[in-house]
Amino acid sequence: MHPAGDPDSTASLDQPPGCCPSAWRPRIIAFCCNWCAYAGADLAGVSRRQYSPEVKILRVMCSGRVSPGMVLRSFASGADGIIVLGCHPGDCHYQIGNRYTEKSVDQVRELLDLAGIDDSRLRLEWISASEGEKFGRIIDEFTRTVRALGPLEAPE
Amino acid sequence: MSGNGLTVPDVRRCLECGRCSYICPVSHMTDEFSPRKVAEQFVLEGKLRNDRGLWQCMSCGACTEFCQSEVRFHEYLQAKRRELRETFKAEDNHGGAPGSMMRLTANKSVHTKKDNWVTPDLKLDLDSETLLFVGCTPYFDVMFRYLRDDLLEIPRAAVKLLNASGIRPRLLEGERCCGHDAYWLGDEDLFDRLAGLNLDAIEKAGVKEVVAFCPECYSTLKQVYPRRFGPLGFEVRSVAEVIGEKIKEGELELKREEEKVTYHDPCRLGRHARVFEAPRDILDACGDLVEMPRNREMAACCGNAAFVNCNGSTRLWQLDRLREARESGASRLVTACPKCLIHLSCAEGQNVQMIKGEKMTVVDLHVLAASRIKRV
């Protein structure tokens, strides 16, 4: 079986013992901007760089499109972790889109803090189109972080 | 009666007199909605023709106030929203951020930390019998800082006023949103979860009285919670009521200044919870209160209640209210609700920017009163 489709292949991502039922797999959303991060993800794919299969990639035209409402809504609809990936500062296809991203992400961090939710569930990173390897590394790292934190909503 | 403590008011008593449509803020500005029209569609056709009938209403309660057949239309529509919210979806404003915050905190496992606004000069007491319910203002401060950067002054001012009248309140650990928006949008599950968590926490705190500065929290705690869960083991009062009383009793004095202000009754505090005079007592002690033509029961709504379906007619309505405030001759427009403050400031900001109109400053009642506390 292809490793990415095998649920056991993620066992190497250090699930802490007893933190959560072993069947639990984090639901992670990666917002990728069309011009850099998505191309980076594509490069990771074509170079056969394997990364955590828990991540669902959502393409947006610019990471600046990701409003606080979108992130909060994803969390409220069951995401355990959200990573926003955009172009490096200065490289934005729309000049300053990623500056808006920074603002929005800061705003959501503040809101998560008020709600008592660990803000390491939200991460912002810059990935260029040539950084396929970095994309894979960051996704793996982030998955490990979210796995360690456990599910966002404890089962009642 | 739908068997869960929430009633569905009977709309068939309607005589089609049209008083509701005359007073309804939405039907003033758009042809697409009027209480009478919506009631007629439900009664004659058994269903709504479109989503506007369901979501344009701001549940301000003006129609109910003026109905001579005692149809409680805004509550009727709330009941219909419970049924139809999956069929006709509401349009969330602000990317759905306020609603998502509500859903995110409606879980036992999260521990909210909403006391970031507390400054050392505020006197709180962990064993107090009075609890201050803070509500969503700390969230709004983050979301709407681009409109108002002083929203956290409201809870601070509320504590200062309570302190000045000899009350040291405590805050509720693990306080959730009161569930106001969920209730009026017909989301019963979410409302029950939020209210249940709050009631458990208040019970655990064992307080005798809960005070709230936000009219929505106040009316929800005072009116909706008992309707849904039976009598509460504590009293609920608004900060305006507490302070108004203390001023009347002479226990609290405010500095009077020569300034004309006018007061915008928030619908939840006024028409819903019937607190009309307490804020006026406070303003009389602060300066000269001039009334706008539409005041008390007649008061105009600020244009939105639960952060859904804000649109052009909302904006027209808000600009109309601001014009009314300017024409009253007042220099500042006072309101007692954080949401009214946000909505009217938003309209005012655009008004000044685009139409180059004369600026009307909108200010919160608690903040104004707290700035006039006489130092002993």
Q: Which residues, at least 6 apart from A90, have a Cβ–Cβ distance to it below 8 Å?
A: none
Per the domain annotation, does A131 fall within a domain?
A: yes
Of B100, B108, B138, the CB nearest to A69: B100
Of B94, B99, B112, the CB nearest to A116: B112
Whether chain B has a CB inside 8 Å of the CB on A75: the answer is: yes
Q: Of B110-114, B214-218, B297-301, which has the strongest mean pLDDT?
A: B214-218
**Which residue of chain B comes nearest to A68, CA vs CA?**
B97
Per the domain annotation, does A17 fall within a domain?
A: no
Q: What is the pLDDT of residue A2?
A: 42
Report, as an integer, the average pLDDT of B272-276: 95
CATH number, domain with residue A72: 3.40.50
pLDDT band at A47 (very low <50, low <70, confident <90, very high): very high
pTM metric for this prediction: 0.89
Whether chain B has a CB inside 8 Å of the CB on A19: the answer is: no
Contact assignment for B95 to A73 by CB distance below 8 Å: yes
**CA B217 to CA B75: how far, in whole Å?**
17
Candidates B234, B240, B229; CA nearest to B172 is B234
Q: Sheet holding A55-60: strands in order across? A: A55-60, A28-33, A81-86, A122-126
Using the predicted structure, report yes or no on whether residue A18 has a pLDDT greater than 90.
Answer: no
Of B94, B96, B109, the CB nearest to A154: B109
Q: Which domains are seen in chain B, by residue range?
A: 19-84 (no CATH), 94-244 (3.40.50), 252-370 (3.40.50)
Give the mutation candidate from B93, B94, B107, B144 for the A interface (greatest A CB count, under 10 A).
B107
Per the prediction, chain B carries an average pLDDT of 90
Q: Which of B87-96, B130-139, B250-259 has the lowest mean pLDDT?
A: B87-96
Number of domains chain A contains? 1
Per the domain annotation, does A3 fall within a domain?
A: no
Per the domain annotation, does A11 fall within a domain?
A: no
Per the domain annotation, does A75 fall within a domain?
A: yes
Phi-psi region of B296 (alpha: psi -120 to 50; beta: other; left: phi over 0): left
* pLDDT tens string B173-204: 989 999 999 999 999 999 999 999 999 999 99
Whether chain B has a CB inside 8 Å of the CB on A150: the answer is: no
Q: What is the pLDDT of residue B205?
A: 92
* pLDDT tens string A84-132: 999 999 999 999 999 999 999 999 999 999 999 999 999 999 999 999 9
Crossing angle (nearest 10°) for helices A68-76 and B97-104: 30
Domain with A86 in it: 25-149
